[in-house]
Structure 1
Amino acid sequence: MHRSTATDHGTAAAPLPERADVVIIGGGVLGASIAFHLAEAGVTGVLLLERDRPAAGSSGKPIGGVRAQFSDPLNIRIGRRSLEAWRAFGERPGADIGFESAGYLFLLGDDAELALFEEGVAAQNALGVPSRITGPAEAAALCPYLDPDSIVAAAHCPTDGYALPGAAVTGYLRAAVRRGAAVRTHCPVTAIDTEGGALEAVRTPRGTVRTTTVICCAGAWSAEVGAMAGVRLPVTPLRRQIAFTGPLDAPPPRIPFTLDFTSTAYFHNDGAGGLLLGMSDPRQEPGFGREFSREWLAPFREAAGRRAPALADMPVAHGWAGLYETTPDNNALIGEAADVPRFLYATGFSGHGFLQAPAVGELVRDLYLRREPFLDIGPLAATRFDGRAADAAEGSAGRGSPGRGGARPEAHII
């Protein structure tokens, strides 16, 4: 028998069922979406376990971007299908998530970036995404903070936008519970028992639940959860931070989710009369630290000074820090473990988990039910990293794998 343990992070009083047909580990937006899609499909005995509270990890981000502007067909299709679900969230499953079709605007600093995005826009248009290349003047009209002389062009899609991740998690979970799913919070999984490669049970400080199916949606902690069952999930935690200006004296105009491709600096309305600012800090080391630090604002201000000078000295009122769950090629892991049948996983989204959550809920539902999904998720299997170095995996990302790494770097921005 294989048995592994993890640190106990706290308990609560609600009882656990003695057995469940499906145990979902992780109460973020991916776990919530999967619980909803399974329960909606009539799957009984669905139990979601969350070590803290729902959306306590990366899904607790105040505002999450949603888009279909990717460079490869697989991620474009996931993004587009998810966008359709986010727009219809008020009807299904039924909750207000503050969805705003503000659009996405990628700022392009040279001809090489322009050529890359022209190729991406062509792929998006072929799949029904209404993105297009704009000139500097039109980009500045969409985002008045922009210095048009600092870019050669921009890529814009008006149907992209942003929503509230916490509200989405709550909406999914409430709908899942209405359909018969069970949710237990403050209930960390401390061990997963297997016998002869078959799942037998999950253990928690509140008791043991016998099950033959586990779905890992543990985000940055997924490698630890996978190891409990003897499954390798190459996920690394990486802190990402955002900051808020607070209400500004002159309220900002409504602008797209604006990103500088060169630096990864981005900004957009915060819904409260100010702006949200963010950037991938190249100096950030992997780890589980989630404290907010203003140090990353220095490279943000430097980048903003080149593209949107008015933002370079804009004061910051407060901030937020969370964890990206990164993989060697910055593509998600979705599939079923090769050596542990019915250990399913949906993790490693490298910053795209929220925007892809509705479609991923469908995909994992169909994987569990063993029915044909709306697209082939074979390229997202964790086994793509078996027996080869991470750099080799990344280098192949544009050749038959989803293509968000290596040859298609624009997908790493958010």
Structure 2
Amino acid sequence: MQYPATDFLIIGGGILGAATAWSLAQRAPVGSRIRVVEAGMLATATTSQAAALLTRVRPDPAMAALVAETFHAIDQLNQVLDEPLPLRQVGSLHLATREAGKAYLRDTAASAQTLGLRAEWLDASAVNAHAPWLVSTSSAEALFVADDGYMDPVQLAQGYITAARRLGVEIVQQCRVEALIQEQGRITGVQTSRGVMAATTVICCAGPWSTRLLAEQGVSLAMAPVRSHYWISADNHDLFPVDSPMVILPDANAYARPEVGGLLFGLRDQQPVYGDPATLPADIHGYLFNCDPDGWECLESGYAGLAEVFPAIEQLGIAHYLSGISSYTPDGKPLLGQTAIPGLLVASGCSGGGIALSGGVGRLLAEQALEQTPFCDHAPFALDRFGAVDPFSEAFRIRCALARSNKRSG
């Protein structure tokens, strides 16, 4: 099939590609042609594997602005979609007993106040009322942030896409971008499994596949494919009511939220667990990482700390395990903006926060593609902020994996 040239071509129909398409369609000049090209089906790769915690409190104001824009985007989408998006704005409960964890809670409370978000300290009885599965002690400190929430990541991506389609965005699925086309020093289109597609501007939102694709053009993305994984307990509706909040456990390096009658909980690997961007398969479902392929070592190492506050896990057991890929940068912030090659922009490296950041990422990329004034400071997300890197080297991939290991927030 012969595809006509387009003004903007977005590689990837996951959450970032979908959000960028919708933001572009709202801001681009009338008559602009926008196309999303997805290798498989929309939002079925890394987006579908996300735990999708929408935590608004971030110490970096620019990161906080991206998340705030996602909540604003959800409000906007609800005005144009036939059905409201299933945002569960149940808040987040942060619990700590150790000094390092308590310091994190105090920092979170201070950041919430700066951002104008609601946060309150809870006693043990209030903790139990919010989350019946969670056991607190007299020495514990607990902070509740009321404005946080979570939602199904695929439904949010589909919401962006549905709204984008209504504004004229073209969606091409089951079409893999195999290479970028560069002529006279700028990107002029892409080579796909269905032939050449010419474009004035190309925005790469291809997740972990972006590294290899852009490396062929001499662009080294400072990110690595790192394991994100979580478990889901057996059902117990008394312990896990649907309106209970997300829980962040900095002492256990864990997070949790209700999920279809059970509890979804994630533990962060203390050893670096990462993949190779040069050999990622087209289908990453079931992808095995460099070590601990089934997550048992991570679960065993974090089990004692988790069981201290979640003793019911001993009786409930584990019903499901899901392992996915997150593109992590050394500082845990995304890679957003214009590359050194004219006509080529990137949105990737969201470090496990792509769902929460999606609305802000989409708006920022749209504004940069249109050469408009960005709505927030984009310097923290600059592609070149780490200097020259080799994303295929093992040392660099370990560096990125450690960014996930050291993460304390949701």
What range describes the TM-score normalised by the shorter chain of this pair? 0.7 to 0.9
State the Cα deviation string for residues 130-178 of structure 1 (Å, max 9, x = none).
1244344433332222221285312321110111111111121122122
- Which residue of 2 is the match for residue 22 of structure 1? 8
State the Cα deviation string for residues 61-106 of structure 1 (Å, max 9, x = none).
3751112022222212222222233345321455433111111112
Matches within 5 A, 1:89-238: 89-92=77-80, 95-149=83-137, 152-238=140-226
- Which residue of 2 is the match for residue 9 of structure 1? none
Structure 1 residues 62 and 286, CA, compared in 2 at 3 Å: closer, same or farther? closer
Q: Aligned AA for 1:36?
A: W
Cα deviation, residue 409, structure 1: 9.0
- The answer (yes or no) to whether the contact 1:216–1:345 under 8 Å persists in 2 is yes
Structure 1 residues 409 and 81, CA, compared in 2 at 3 Å: closer, same or farther? farther
Other structure's SS at 2:229 match: strand
Other structure's SS at 1:96 match: coil
- Which residue of 2 is the match for residue 35 of structure 1? 21
- Which residue of 1 is the match for residue 328 of structure 2? 326
Return the alpha-carbon distance in structure 1 between the equivalents of residues 83 and 191 of structure 2: 33
Matches within 5 A, 1:214-293: 214-248=202-236, 250=238, 252-253=240-241, 254-270=243-259, 272-283=260-271, 285-287=273-275, 288=280, 290-291=285-286, 293=294
Other structure's SS at 1:385 match: coil
Instruction: Return 5+ residue gaps in structure 2 as ranges.
Output: 287-292, 397-401
Return the alpha-carbon distance in structure 1 between the equivalents of residues 136 and 117 of structure 2: 25
Cα deviation, residue 381, structure 1: 0.6
Other structure's SS at 2:94 match: strand
Other structure's SS at 1:212 match: strand
Q: Aligned AA for 1:256?
A: P
| Range 95-104 or range 55-64, more displaced | 55-64
Return the alpha-carbon distance in structure 2 between the equivalents of residues 94 and 225 of structure 1: 37
Other structure's SS at 2:222 match: coil
- The answer (yes or no) to whether the contact 1:93–1:171 under 8 Å persists in 2 is yes
State the Cα deviation string for residues 295-336 of structure 1 (Å, max 9, x = none).
143334322212221124422222322211111111111110
What TM-score comes out, normalization by structure 1 length?
0.85
Return the alpha-carbon distance in structure 2 between the equivalents of residues 94 and 411 of structure 1: 37
Return the alpha-carbon distance in structure 2 between the equivalents of residues 135 and 250 of structure 1: 21
- The answer (yes or no) to whether the contact 1:327–1:350 under 8 Å persists in 2 is yes
Instruction: Return 5+ residue gaps in structure 1 as ranges.
Output: 1-14, 395-404
Cα deviation, residue 228, structure 1: 3.2
Other structure's SS at 1:90 match: helix
- The answer (yes or no) to whether the contact 2:220–2:390 under 8 Å persists in 1 is no
Name the % identity.
Answer: 28
Return the alpha-carbon distance in structure 1 between the equivalents of residues 120 and 160 of structure 2: 33
Structure 1 residues 412 and 357, CA, compared in 2 at 3 Å: closer, same or farther? farther
Matches within 5 A, 1:369-384: 369-384=370-385
Return the alpha-carbon distance in structure 2 between the equivalents of residues 378 and 16 of structure 1: 39
Return the alpha-carbon distance in structure 1 between the equivalents of residues 19 and 76 of structure 2: 14
Structure 1 residues 231 and 262, CA, compared in 2 at 3 Å: closer, same or farther? same
Cα deviation, residue 412, structure 1: 5.0
| Range 55-64 or range 320-329, more displaced | 55-64
- Which residue of 2 is the match for residue 386 of structure 1? 387
Q: Aligned AA for 1:366?
A: E
Other structure's SS at 1:69 match: coil
- The answer (yes or no) to whether the contact 2:252–2:306 under 8 Å persists in 1 is no
State the Cα deviation string for residues 374-403 of structure 1 (Å, max 9, x = none).
21101211100114899xxx9xxxxxxxxx
Give the length in aligned residue pairs.
384
- The answer (yes or no) to whether the contact 1:134–1:155 under 8 Å persists in 2 is yes
Structure 1 residues 16 and 232, CA, compared in 2 at 3 Å: closer, same or farther? farther
Return the alpha-carbon distance in structure 2 between the equivalents of residues 197 and 294 of structure 1: 45
- The answer (yes or no) to whether the contact 1:48–1:182 under 8 Å persists in 2 is yes
Other structure's SS at 2:77 match: coil
